Structure 1
């Protein structure tokens, strides 16, 4: 489903923007998230189990995730939409992998934060892309 240029972009430690179904009377409100492209083609992220986005995903298990190249690079983005599942297993391991990707883990404060996540109520969110849109200028 992803093309080679998509995979190159998704392999970078960029922020993605996750959009879930809004609460009644609200507009969709994307949230910046860390993500990982798994070997099976899913996009995975973690969250605290009590986060509002997780509650919304439990009610409406669909989402979109957009990743874009940073300013100063040619315009390039990938948007994936699909069904979402929420898992209790693997969230702490995913959080640790993503922290190593996005943080300077030689920083003791970051090490402490990531260690605290091991005991936190985290969930792993798995998005299975059904539709992928893209632009690469």
Structure 2
């Protein structure tokens, strides 16, 4: 579903803004997350098991993400929506891999945080694209 120019954007260490279905009368509230594109073309992220977004995804397993080029570059964004699956395996490994992508060389505090993630456990969130929209100037 992704074009080459989409993948060029999505493979950069940019934040994805994840939106899940809100509860009750609340408005949708996107959250910035780290992510990666898998070899199968899915997007995967991670979260703590007790996070409200994980609870909402258990109730309604669908989400959307938007990734945009930073200010100062030609305008380009990719929006992805689709069903979500939650996985108890692979979360800490994904988090460690993404920490290197987003932080680069890890300092002692960052390594300690990754160790905490390994011991407390993380949920791996996998979004399988059912629709991809994009805009470019």
TM-score by length of 1: 0.98
Asked if the contact 2:100–2:106 (Cα under 8 Å) also holds between the matched residues in 1, the reply is no
1:2 corresponds in structure 2 to: 2
RMSD: 0.7
1:42 corresponds in structure 2 to: 42
- 2:132 alignment partner, SS class: strand
For structure 2, the residue ranges without an aligned partner over 5 or more in a row are none
1:31 corresponds in structure 2 to: 31
Q: Counterparts of 1:66 and 1:49 in 2: how far apart (Å)?
A: 23
Listed one character per residue, the Cα deviations across residues 89-110 of structure 1 (whole Å, up to 9, x for unaligned) are: 1001100000010113331111
Q: Counterparts of 2:87 and 2:106 in 1: how far apart (Å)?
A: 29
1:83 aligns with 2:110: no
Of 99-108 and 8-17, deviating more is: 99-108
- 2:92 alignment partner, SS class: helix
1:19 corresponds in structure 2 to: 19
1:120 corresponds in structure 2 to: 120
For structure 1, the residue ranges without an aligned partner over 5 or more in a row are none
Deviation of the 1:112 alpha carbon: 1.0
1:96 corresponds in structure 2 to: 96
